[in-house]
Amino acid sequence: MYRINDISLAPQGEKKIKWAKLNMPLLSDIEKEFIKTQPFRNLKVALSVHIEAKTACLCRLLKAAGAELYATGCNPLSTQDDVAAALAAGGINIFARHGVSEEEYERDLISVLEPGPNIVIDDGGDLAELLHRRMPELIESILGGCEETTTGINRLRSMKREGVLRYPVIKVNDAKCKYLFDNRYGTGQSVWDGINRTTNLVVAGKKVVVAGYGWCGKGIAMRAKGQGAIVYVTEVDPVKAIEAAMDGFHVLPMEQAAEIGDIFITATGCKDVITGPAFKKMKDGAIMCNAGHFNVEVDVETLEKLATEKQEQRPNIMGYKLEGGKWLYLLAQGRLVNLASGDGHPVEIMDMSFAIQALSAAYLAQRTDRLEPDLYPVPEEIDNDIAMRKLSAMGISIDFLTSDQRRYLDGWLT
């Protein structure tokens, strides 16, 4: 069962998946274990994650572990059609196409829910929203969900606060082995990969403004510095602002940064971070892009209204001419630049993130009791297990506490 753009692309997608798999030792090991233990036998899993090669490896693992899997994307622009074709050709139920409209995107989400899932794997909470708002009759059979990203957890937290959350969700994003690596090093590298390959411009010597100094912003700023940029940070959290300053970056409000920057990158999870007044102050040729969850961080609607002319410069670069004649450029329509204009995070990063997804989903599948509807941390054993597996894959050994040292650390007498 599938709804994709072009099945003839399958061989090309298969090559991408094979390369990813070669570099995903954690997921490969877990797959071998799960083929024996079949944790998802007789369970239906609905998944909404960016459909590209690394996600394909997670999909295949879930199927090999016994799941009846229904998969779709989590962003209208991040699906790679060749990968979706390879998954369809391999017998995975997939509903994902690159460049769909909002309506088609929602249709695909609904298609993965219609069979009535037992486990829901979400990246951003779109499946959770649809289930609660439009398909509540399906919630009864749900054992639980796993949420991949910061914004998804914020949305679920708000559902819990309002008393509407009806199934338990594991906060995969908040595992140490997720946000410390995926959000920081993954976003740090892949956002620049997206910008560099899309613009083909030099970064050294440019003034780069990073909005938001959370885990993603830290990674983006660090890699901007590494490429020789002069880095500016905007924040609303005073503590994060101090961190940015002590990490050696200029901290200032967006209003001031607007006049300075050559490249602007938002990573806040908030909305209206770069808006009309900033567009008016920006230099001719300024480039903007977004790395946060939704396409609302750069106020594209206002940009469209202010523009007297609009022209595509290169794939994924839209030029907007403003009154007075200056041009501003927006990458990937203001959607996540690393995924809409690149391959997303590097393979080994997604190996860790998806290993946590696989173990967390299996944890939900194998519980004999039913968890209350709430948000739950990834069990510490899983986080530590992933860390040890990753160290082993990297060929790194560490020390272990002796029982005497452990007693010393646990005690209070000197």
- Rounded to a whole number of angstroms, the minimum distance from the CB of residue 267 to ligand SAH is 10
Stretch 24-83 residues interacting with ligand SAH (CB under 6 A): 49-50, 52, 54-55, 74-75
How far apart CA 59 and CA 93 sit, in angstroms, is: 10
Q: Considering CB distances under 5 to 8 angstroms, the limit depending on partner class, which of ligand NAD, ligand SAH, none binds residue 268?
A: ligand NAD
Q: Say whether residue 278 binds ligand SAH (CB under 6 A).
A: no
Q: E-strand spans in 123-165?
A: 144-147
Per DSSP, the three-state class of 143 is: coil
Q: Say whether residue 151 binds ligand NAD (CB under 6 A).
A: yes
Closest CB to ligand NAD among residues 38, 154: 154
Kind and range of the H or E run holding 265: strand 263-266
Closest CB to ligand NAD among residues 7, 270: 270
Binding mask 142-161 for ligand SAH (x = CB under 6 A): ------xx------------
How far apart CA 118 and CA 172 sit, in angstroms, is: 18
- Of the residues 26, 49, 265, 336, which one makes contact with ligand NAD according to CB under 6 A: 336
* Chain centre to alpha carbon of residue 116: 25
Stretch 154-193 residues interacting with ligand SAH (CB under 6 A): 173, 182
Q: Say whether residue 66 binds ligand NAD (CB under 6 A).
A: no
Task: Specify the DSSP class assigned to residue 179.
Answer: I
User: Residue 111: phi, psi to the nearest 5?
Assistant: -60, -35
Q: Considering CB distances under 5 to 8 angstroms, the limit depending on partner class, which of ligand NAD, ligand SAH, none binds residue 236?
A: ligand NAD
How far apart CA 71 and CA 54 sit, in angstroms, is: 13
Stretch 283-322 residues interacting with ligand NAD (CB under 6 A): 291-293
How far apart CA 79 and CA 293 sit, in angstroms, is: 15
Taking CA atoms, 286 is separated from 193, 289, 338, in Å, by: 18, 10, 19
Residues of this chain that interact with ligand SAH (CB under 6 A) are 49-50, 52, 54-55, 74-75, 123-124, 148-149, 173, 182, 293-294, 336, 339, 343-345, 350, 353
